[in-house]
Amino acid sequence: MKWRRTWAVARKEFLHVMRDPRSLTMALATPVLLLILMGYALTLDVNKVPLAVWDQSGTERSRELIGRFVGSRYFSLCFYVNNYADLMQGINQGRVVMGLIVPRDFAQQIGAGRNAAVQLILDGTDSNTATIALGYADVIAQVYAFDFNLEQSRRRGGARLTVPLDVRPRVWYNEDLDSRNYIIPGLIAVIMMVISAMLTSLTVAREWERGTMEQLISTPLKVSELILGKLTPYFAVGAFSVILAMTMGEFLFHVPLRGSVALLLGTSALFLVGSLGMGILISIVTKNQLLANQLAGVATLLPAFLLSGFIYNIANMPQAIQAVTYFVPARYFVAILNGIYLKGVGFEILAGQLVLLVIFAAAMLLLAHWTFHKRLE
């Protein structure tokens, strides 16, 4: 392989990228736009759950319980209701997610030392939000009950109440439990996978459609020189997009980067080579720009978004789907990004995922070389 011929192909592709504002805009602006939109819009946190209250008791005790809900950051009181019909209307209109109903005899029941039933009605349309909101409400109710029993015991001069099990949770790596710290690194992996594959998926197909591929075939240019030359400019563009996305994560979203920057850039470059190689492979197989673009989108976006563990926990998927995720390279890169960003781990921990990324990159390049060589014969 001669580097002079490789550079000639790379220079040709560089000129094409610079003269094609649409491709250049897609490569640079699309990652920024996706990161801003999804970084702010996509969140797994459940805060300020819209709440409606029907206080049938109207006592100091009931207002104290309602105050526990309103005073927490997890619930937001929208309005009071006086009947079930108004509550159901609020839920059906999407104005509230939860309804809290305090019975008339609430104060009398707890004052007499008996259990008082408090009703919660939830909109289960979004099962994830409903489940988390129900957990918040259960904790608030338990804390209220314990504080009330403690107060009653002190007033009666009884024995001091103690908690049989004192759980003191300590969260590592993401102390504030902010889902953005987990989402932004995963978004970088998804964006890299999609953009790089879609960019290079048009390169070889464009040559076939314009009739210039026959000229390249007739030259002494080797297959490896052609593929490497076509990858070089898009690798530079992709690397710039990666650095831009990491800069936005640091200064715009304030995602902590606890690990090695050099390791982060190195693994990103490795994943970028594999994604670019996949795009080249798709372009060689299809020989059509429209088909290549569509196939690249299907082969990268859906697996990277759904099967990488970026949003959905792989352990909760069916066994058959879990087996498929092992063939999704974004799964390993997402794990690497989370390890470097949040945990600050190094090569000794991430070696297994790095080896799999090396296999992915090598396999894509070798398949592209072998497939294009078959087309030359």
Residue 72 CB contacts under 8 Å (≥ 6 apart), including other chains: 136, 140
How many domains, the chain? 2
Order across the sheet with 98-102: list the strands: 75-80, 49-55, 98-102, 119-122
- As a residue count, the chain comes to 377
Q: Are 263 and 346 in contact (CB under 8 A)?
A: yes
Residues 264 and 367 in one domain: yes
Residues 214 and 359 in one domain: yes
Residues 206 and 355 in one domain: yes
Identify the CATH number of the domain in which residue 57 sits.
3.40.1710.10
Q: Check residue 232 and give its pLDDT.
A: 87
Residues 122 and 205 in one domain: no
- What one-character DSSP code corresponds to residue 343? I
Q: Check residue 100 and give its pLDDT.
A: 94
Question: Of 191, 198, 286, which is closest to residue 242 (Cα–Cα)?
Answer: 191
Sign of the CA dihedral 278, 280, 285, 288?
Answer: positive
Residues 188 and 231 in one domain: yes
Q: Check residue 192 and give its pLDDT.
A: 84
Q: Are 344 and 258 in contact (CB under 8 A)?
A: yes
Residues 54 and 113 in one domain: yes
What would the pLDDT profile of 82-138 be if each residue is shown by its tens digit?
A: 999 999 999 999 899 999 999 999 988 887 778 888 999 999 888 888 888 999 999
Per-position b or e across 136-153, b if 16+ CB within 10 A of its CB: bbeebbeebeeebeeeee
**Phi and psi angles of residue 110, each rounded to the nearest 5 degrees, phi first:** -75, -25
Strand-pair category, 119-122 with 98-102: antiparallel
Q: Check residue 374 and give its pLDDT.
A: 42
Low-confidence ranges of the chain (pLDDT < 70): 1, 23, 157-166, 211, 214-215, 217-218, 373-377
What would the pLDDT profile of 46-79 be if each residue is shown by its tens digit?
A: 888 999 999 999 999 999 999 999 998 899 999 9
Residues 119 and 26 in one domain: no
24: containing domain: 3-43+178-376
Residue 182 CB contacts under 8 Å (≥ 6 apart), including other chains: 44, 174, 338, 342
